[in-house]
Amino acid sequence: MNLDRVRAVISGGASGLGHATAARLVAGGGQVALLDVQDEVGRTAAAALGQAASYHRCDVTSEADVDAAVRQAAARMGGLNVAVACAGVATPGKLLGRDGPLAAAAFQRVLNINTLGTFLLDRAAAAFMQNNTPDAEGERGLLIHTASVAAFEGQVGQVAYATSKAAVAGMVLPLAR
């Protein structure tokens, strides 16, 4: 896929890897929509990238938020052919730490943002991409996930993060099939 044809939504696009990805796509001539919950940072990041970028408030753990943000972004860009899931958190915690067992809510929060957020972005983007005209290779779009070596080599205190990234890596093959 040529970068100048990219119309991408990027979760976690206001900062970090998401913003760096957006900057690279815009530098290559593409259009991007930054999806994030960091409003001020997101608006500033989009403005710095220029007219090829926009910011859309989006909580990736909310199906309604993701669907609405992807719909708005696709309308603004005149379509959608790339989704990059960069939204993520790495809240540390051992199963049993100094203060007792890891709270289930802390574990669930990491899974919701890192894993469910990736799935919700994929499903919303795929709903648009299915109607794209296939390119020369027969592709209608591209879903990109962000995982980590922690999926396979999690360190002490990474039980939630490693689990979430293993799930993200585990989604790839069944989604591709």
User: What residues are labeled active site?
Assistant: 161
**Residue 30, token pair as written in the block:** 């593409």
Burial class (CB in 10 A: 0-12, 13-18, 19+), 173: exposed
Q: Which of 90, 3, 18, 98 is nearest to 58 (CA)?
A: 18
CA–CA distance, 131 with 141 (Å, rounded to integer): 10
CA–CA distance, 51 with 162 (Å, rounded to integer): 37
Q: What count of Cα atoms within 13 Å lies in the side-chain half-sphere of residue 103?
A: 7
How are beta strands 53-57 and 82-85 bridged, if at all?
unpaired
CA–CA distance, 164 with 149 (Å, rounded to integer): 12
